[in-house]
Structure 1
Amino acid sequence: MNAIGKSSAIFVTLSGLFWGGWIVGSQTPEGQEAIARAYAAYEEQQATANENLFDSTALRAIVCGDPTSVEQKPCLAIVAAGRLFIVDAGTGAASSLARRNIPMDRLGAVLLTDADMPQVADLAAVYNAASRNGGAVLPVYGPAETQRLVDGLNQAGGFDGASNGLQAWGPSPEPGRSVIVFEADGLVVSAFTTQEDAFSGRVAYRFDYRGRSIVVGGDGQVAGASAARDADVVLQNAQSERNATFDGPATAAQIATQAAASNTGMVVLTGADTPIAAQMQVAEARATGFNDVQAARVGMMVELPLDNMDINVRPL
């Protein structure tokens, strides 16, 4: 059994001890102390298990966001080469990762697909969680408007953006030409855009790690982009045919059609407001004949092992 599996088993055991303790005397000081020790041990075990997420055996994506809301807020965590990247810091980004004991001190950068409020609502909280020891600088990559947004957050937090706080970087990719924003230890992170997205100020990101690849598109029109070709997984916001708007993201059917033409391994549809809407989008996508489609859920992990070409999807 791997470390993550052991952690789940320990949690089940401790839950049994909790309810057993409640019956036989957890309301006593001794019982409460014993339960507190048990759950502290579980949290330590879970943190140790999550360290395994940062090994060099896979490229991983974790759907994060507000765990108490059915609405999917824009937030994805990418883990590779011992590093953590957050793409879009929507509401609940920091808390949902903290609840799963993801070590935020591993955070290398925040990558914004857009500089609107939904994508940055939790950016300050993400910085605070990642820099608990103080004095840290957190790079924030994104569209041109990112600089103005970061300046405002630094001013509100009393940071200078040089020795502490957020530091904005605008990769400014041109349609058809990717820009590398990070490269080390076999991991390459590149920013790209399309003709449609350049006009609306949207940026997408591709993560290539030792032969495996993940593309995160946000609200953009990325599944059919040349930079997304042959990607193992594309995670992209979608809208349903029934509620499609002209200036919204691509429809689920459009994404699936483009993914098939681009030789994509799997599509994960993000951004559905409700579980019913998510199911509808998956059905519309699969109706095109492209069946490798999943609906994103907070806590879902997509894992791409380096020793084979599998795509594993499971809860974290």
Structure 2
Amino acid sequence: MLKRVFLVLLGLVVLALSTAWFLRGEIALRVMARTMDRNLAATPSDGLPDGLHVALCGSGSPMPDPTRAGPCTAVLAGNRLFVFDAGSGSVRNLTLMGMAPARVERVFLTHFHSDHIDGLGELMLQHWAGGAAKTPVPVHGPTGVETVVGGLMTAYGPDRGYRIAHHGEAVVPPSGFGGEARPFAIGTGPAQVTLIDEPDLKIRAFPVDHAPVSPAVGYIVEYKGRKAVISGDTD
């Protein structure tokens, strides 16, 4: 009797696994759709007062450290999420912190040291695939950011095709792939460059000394009378 019960249960398990195998594509699509819905339903500012909030999604250096991701600062202005630099591992931290990459409105780069940009490809990918983005994420940076963004989009070009073919255009709209470089010129003096100028929100860039790296900038984020300054790397 026990042997018969065991064989029946074994048969049911084999049947279930076989069904899951043949339906794996449909199951994957449903899981991704559910993940996107969850990412877009919750806002990073849930439970926080309306204000200016700063979070460290990475505080490491180029030296390997299992407890530190590469440089990355997340700024919440109300319910709008901005990311400054994107070091290795920082995108996973964003997700673990409840700030889904799909919710990132814009990315700002302080300079082009490898440890500040080596997570940018993943951020652009997760912004696209994690939220069915229809437009690329804007990536602001001093002159040269177009080379960085263009290079990463070239590197991720084959993957773009794979993901569209596998998941379909409803999940990964072709128009939302990658990033849109938004370069700005910056001098060596105290002059600032205004990147966002709205009644409640202003974001400005200013030059910093990070020789021999040039250009290098910091950013000022001002929201409803509160201000955060992100220096980037500087003396």
* TM tier relative to shorter chain: 0.5 to 0.7
Question: How much has 1:213 moved relative to structure 2?
Answer: 0.4
Question: How much has 1:54 moved relative to structure 2?
Answer: 6.7
Question: How much has 1:50 moved relative to structure 2?
Answer: 4.0
Output the CA distance in 2 between the equivalents of 1:191 and 1:217. Answer: 10
Moved over 6 A (4+): 195-199
Evaluate the alpha carbon distance shift between residue 51 and residue 60 of structure 1 in structure 2; reply closer, same or farther with a 3 A threshold.
closer
Evaluate the alpha carbon distance shift between residue 186 and residue 54 of structure 1 in structure 2; reply closer, same or farther with a 3 A threshold.
farther
Matched AA of 2:58 = G
Greater C-alpha radius of gyration: 2
Unaligned residue ranges in structure 2 (runs of 5+): 1-37, 161-173
Q: Secondary structure at the match of 1:62?
A: strand
Match of 2:109 among 105, 108, 112: 112
Q: Secondary structure at the match of 1:170?
A: strand
Say yes or no: does 1:179 pair with 2:193.
Answer: yes
Say yes or no: does 1:168 pair with 2:181.
Answer: yes
Question: How much has 1:53 moved relative to structure 2?
Answer: 5.9
Aligned equivalent of 1:261: none
Output the CA distance in 1 between the equivalents of 2:191 and 2:94. Answer: 32
Say yes or no: does 1:63 pair with 2:63.
Answer: no
Evaluate the alpha carbon distance shift between residue 207 and residue 118 of structure 1 in structure 2; reply closer, same or farther with a 3 A threshold.
same
TM-score, length-scaled by structure 1: 0.49
5 Å-filtered alignment, 1:127-206, equals 127-132=124-129, 133-158=132-157, 164-174=177-187, 175-184=189-198, 186-194=200-208, 200-206=214-220
Unaligned residue ranges in structure 1 (runs of 5+): 1-43, 221-249, 251-316
Say yes or no: does 1:52 pair with 2:66.
Answer: no
Evaluate the alpha carbon distance shift between residue 152 and residue 52 of structure 1 in structure 2; reply closer, same or farther with a 3 A threshold.
same
Q: Secondary structure at the match of 2:87?
A: coil
Aligned equivalent of 2:230: 216
- Residues 125-177 of structure 1, C-alpha deviations (whole Å, 9 max, x = no match): 11122122143311111122211111111112227x98632111122222211
Contact 2:57 2:73 (8 Å CA) reproduced: yes
> What RMSD, in angstroms, separates the aligned Cα atoms of the two structures?
2.9
Contact 2:56 2:74 (8 Å CA) reproduced: yes
Question: How much has 1:76 moved relative to structure 2?
Answer: 0.4
Output the CA distance in 1 between the equivalents of 2:68 and 2:178. Answer: 29
TM-score, length-scaled by structure 2: 0.65
- Residues 290-316 of structure 1, C-alpha deviations (whole Å, 9 max, x = no match): xxxxxxxxxxxxxxxxxxxxxxxxxxx
Question: How much has 1:114 moved relative to structure 2?
Answer: 0.7
Aligned equivalent of 1:88: 85
Evaluate the alpha carbon distance shift between residue 214 and residue 138 of structure 1 in structure 2; reply closer, same or farther with a 3 A threshold.
same
Matched AA of 1:177 = A
- Residues 198-220 of structure 1, C-alpha deviations (whole Å, 9 max, x = no match): 97310110001111100101112
